[in-house]
Structure 1
């Protein structure tokens, strides 16, 4: 068992994970049982990717295309949905599939339930002052995100991104490349005109009446699949807004269906679910050693897994990657990591409001996924985006959920607590004060013009769906994601970005930045560093 293993810490999740390999692998060792406990298996791979979300998925595909044999470690299970499937749980009927190894739902405002812990689709990372909501499973948070795909303009990009990242290159090369892979498309007229999408049309109309810029937002959605739901050919999921725990049927182009599927088809990539990464370190030869626990869906450890690699790509998301690095430095496994690991963390300016007493009917269930937004980027109080998140409401409540995103002007940080052997996020309440005020000003303008009242849900329960930072460009990594003074160690996910993606959902920017990093890593490091 890995030194310092803590059962409580393990059950709340740590970083990324993977599955027992049933194929022949280079330098694979025969598992051997110790005197007590699970056996240990050791392997050697040219490249290892930790995490299978946007960053990890991009890394896996681009390494595969370069002919690099790569192992992808993912902590969660595979979730394979298809037409008429019941793969993912329903929001109003939560069961043990909803939460990562906890006995109850952890998603905000979920109906209560008790169940036996399971490797479910949502993890809640609890911090001091701020919690993080993130996905678990092959495909990472792309499984459970609504899919809203916004990219900042040049002015906003320059405000939040480290200098040296060329916006024109991102705008003309990498954002379009991601859009092509994920097949991003805005909601078409005939779907938006359907009675199921009354709340989305109402949101756009209210924005117009308030003098605000309302837009349809691109999503990784096959809208023909939504049409099949609306025609009654398959059970509804997206068309009723039941997307919070993942999308049943086959209409969402998540990372597992796009980047990872393409990577696996090359024959160079093995995706290994249900391995929780516990520790990373360097051996005397300068290679990276990853220690993981292979688990079953009840969270029981079946096997210890040790893999040695020349190139380690951390793509476990801001929470996962930050915790891996902070723990490695804090325990002394890698004491020479940069001092800023864990720092410059932010919540993307997220603020969730409930707009009650909407004068018009919203005609539940509200069709989704979230497909409309207000882009109030020129507001003197501060740039703001507001998205309407349709919900699978069972009856008319005259209610609309509103997610606002501003630009926080402060940061939090992950710290290692040696006594508890835990990595904890600490977030000061003042870090996003001005962005909160800017979001509220935009929503007040909307409500003054069209009616209703506002409830700030995050005032009672602070959390974010969009964690960013912890291994940021220019501080921990160079501009291509290479960790300073650690050849062969890379960060390729949201941990690279210091706290904000400029009033936009991070997924598109995270994937585009990963594409940029991999272009440079493949051209310069493959065949030299690894």
Structure 2
């Protein structure tokens, strides 16, 4: 039984799409944190505060709200609100200031050069020693601009990388299906895959078969009727032409702002505060914690300092930013009881990017997307690997396609705090993913031998990952349900919980399912006592 068949049998249901107006915050007395600035300072208080609005943060917001908890969601980025017939999101080959988080140039690998005024754009590059992280910014977090691929690991591979406290059978029976239903995952339909624009995807699946891999149609959080309308010429051809890396226009993607967060807002108990950058988490006095935030405009100018007082903090800012907040809090002593392994057990999910070029047949310009064709080469003697086609909006015939690879890294990096500069830095030893490199390169070589073309490494000189994992992992830092050890009321529900790998799979589905598992337990055991 393949992945697509399993998902079909689970009968994915539609997520909630309606959004409600956010309610105002409550004032709190007295600051416990000194803020030195010429801009005004405001104090707020909430029963629970979620930092970040991506997969883990949005799950927390919804489940807390449905349990009756008034919750504030702090998001550094802006609302994007993609709608039909719009160009909310920028084009890959024609980048503008929307592409980067407060930088003057594009941060995405292989991007054409451009220069612009800094803006609160979609992608932040976290530059580390040996590795850079590319992470999302905006209401919806990484779900706005990610590849969208939903993959569930096999039991064997899951157990090889995940903490033993997370039971695969329970995840497969309960939390993967629960997350899939909310994310609205479904594979590409036959009529779309058979369209001329998806020639490269069909070619990839055929070559995966010839290479003795396992070709699969990759589940996506897509409204395929929008793609059909594009292919008929009724809407501008964004997905149909593969311009999907910075977000999907025409409202075709079910990003979490349209699913989890929309449902959370519909409860009337959730406030989403965009353009609020959390700078620091400290111990409080009247309440357990204080979050020091800067409210900014879209140019990055600080308009207001905000101190949010709460007894419960849920960190869902993604591996990079959750890790940086915790590592700095430990280094400065603002949270004095953090575990010693904060920032450690970080990994890149074995990411690789290739340009497969020199194909014997046309791959066509404007390759239809998003990614819908994969090769699960999980039983190879060279090590397990996944390859998938990453459609690109090439503007002329190139006889090429981009391919992403995922393996299982053999080591870890870590975030470190530097007191002299009051900064954090990711340190990634180059030997940490040798095993994944061998496995993914071998899988690529098998496809090349079977179907032609050569796989050229596209990020060898600029090591980077779209899949940061770890920094606040289950076991050393958190209990099996995301509670940070020795810090009552402090939780982690995002990719920081996972020690470096989601077992040859894109991480979004696993992150969401794990967050659902955490919140299921937290709602049953902590509301009314801790929260």
Shorter-chain TM range is over 0.9
Are the structure 2 counterparts of residues 95 and 30 from structure 1 closer, same or farther at C-alpha, using a change threshold of 3 Å?
farther
Instruction: Give the match for residue 280 of structure 1.
Output: 281
Question: Does residue 1:289 correspond to 2:293, yes or no?
Answer: no
Instruction: Give the match for residue 116 of structure 1.
Output: 117
Instruction: Give the match for residue 269 of structure 1.
Output: 270
Q: Is the 8 A contact 1:359 1:452 kept in 2?
A: yes
Q: Is the 8 A contact 2:23 2:270 kept in 1?
A: no
Query: Cα distance, 1:24 vs. partner?
Result: 3.7
Q: Deviations over 1:138-159 (max 9, x none)?
A: 0000000121000101101100
Paired with 2:417 and 2:336, the residues of 1 have a C-alpha distance of 12
Paired with 2:345 and 2:212, the residues of 1 have a C-alpha distance of 35
Instruction: Give the match for residue 154 of structure 2.
Output: 153
Q: Deviations over 1:45-80 (max 9, x none)?
A: 000000000000000000010010000000000001
Q: Deviations over 1:270-307 (max 9, x none)?
A: 00000110000112456111000000000000000000
Paired with 1:449 and 1:497, the residues of 2 have a C-alpha distance of 35
Paired with 1:118 and 1:25, the residues of 2 have a C-alpha distance of 27
Question: Does residue 1:368 correspond to 2:369, yes or no?
Answer: yes
Paired with 1:98 and 1:496, the residues of 2 have a C-alpha distance of 28
Unaligned runs of 5+ in 2: 1-20
Paired with 2:136 and 2:244, the residues of 1 have a C-alpha distance of 13
Query: Cα distance, 1:23 vs. partner?
Result: 4.8
Instruction: Give the match for residue 489 of structure 2.
Output: 488
Instruction: Give the match for residue 103 of structure 1.
Output: 104
Local SS of the residue matching 1:100? coil
Instruction: Give the match for residue 185 of structure 1.
Output: 186
TM-score, normalising length from structure 2? 0.94
Instruction: Give the match for residue 27 of structure 2.
Output: 27
Q: Is the 8 A contact 1:102 1:117 kept in 2?
A: yes
Instruction: Give the match for residue 238 of structure 1.
Output: 239
Moved more, 275-284 or 512-521: 275-284
Instruction: Give the match for residue 171 of structure 1.
Output: 172
Paired with 1:29 and 1:22, the residues of 2 have a C-alpha distance of 22
Q: Deviations over 1:185-223 (max 9, x none)?
A: 000000000000000000011111222211101000011
Paired with 1:227 and 1:404, the residues of 2 have a C-alpha distance of 28
Question: Does residue 1:448 correspond to 2:452, yes or no?
Answer: no
- The within-5 A match list for 1:125-144 is 125-144=126-145
Are the structure 2 counterparts of residues 124 and 90 from structure 1 closer, same or farther at C-alpha, using a change threshold of 3 Å?
same
Q: Deviations over 1:111-149 (max 9, x none)?
A: 111100000001110000000011100000000012100
Paired with 1:512 and 1:208, the residues of 2 have a C-alpha distance of 30
- The within-5 A match list for 1:457-496 is 457-496=458-497
Query: What root-mean-square deviation, in Å, do the aligned CA atoms of Structure 1 and Structure 2 show?
Result: 1.5
Instruction: Give the match for residue 14 of structure 1.
Output: none
Instruction: Give the match for residue 18 of structure 1.
Output: none
Query: Cα distance, 1:446 vs. partner?
Result: 0.9
Query: Cα distance, 1:382 vs. partner?
Result: 0.8
Paired with 2:37 and 2:214, the residues of 1 have a C-alpha distance of 64
Question: Does residue 1:258 correspond to 2:247, yes or no?
Answer: no
Paired with 2:351 and 2:24, the residues of 1 have a C-alpha distance of 45
Q: Deviations over 1:143-178 (max 9, x none)?
A: 001210001011011001001211111001110011
Instruction: Give the match for residue 356 of structure 1.
Output: 357
TM-score, normalising length from structure 1? 0.94
Query: Cα distance, 1:30 vs. partner?
Result: 11
Unaligned runs of 5+ in 1: 1-20
Instruction: Give the match for residue 396 of structure 1.
Output: 397
Paired with 1:454 and 1:230, the residues of 2 have a C-alpha distance of 30
Instruction: Give the match for residue 516 of structure 2.
Output: 515
Paired with 1:29 and 1:267, the residues of 2 have a C-alpha distance of 24
Q: Is the 8 A contact 1:240 1:368 kept in 2?
A: yes
Instruction: Give the match for residue 436 of structure 1.
Output: 437
Query: Cα distance, 1:335 vs. partner?
Result: 2.5
Local SS of the residue matching 2:142? helix
Query: Cα distance, 1:324 vs. partner?
Result: 0.3
Query: Cα distance, 1:456 vs. partner?
Result: 1.1
Give the paired residue count: 508
Paired with 2:78 and 2:25, the residues of 1 have a C-alpha distance of 21
Q: Is the 8 A contact 2:109 2:459 kept in 1?
A: no
Instruction: Give the match for residue 3 of structure 1.
Output: none
Instruction: Give the match for residue 382 of structure 2.
Output: 381
Are the structure 2 counterparts of residues 23 and 63 from structure 1 closer, same or farther at C-alpha, using a change threshold of 3 Å?
closer
Query: Cα distance, 1:26 vs. partner?
Result: 2.6
Q: Is the 8 A contact 1:29 1:41 kept in 2?
A: no
Instruction: Give the match for residue 58 of structure 2.
Output: 57
Instruction: Give the match for residue 11 of structure 1.
Output: none
Paired with 1:216 and 1:337, the residues of 2 have a C-alpha distance of 43
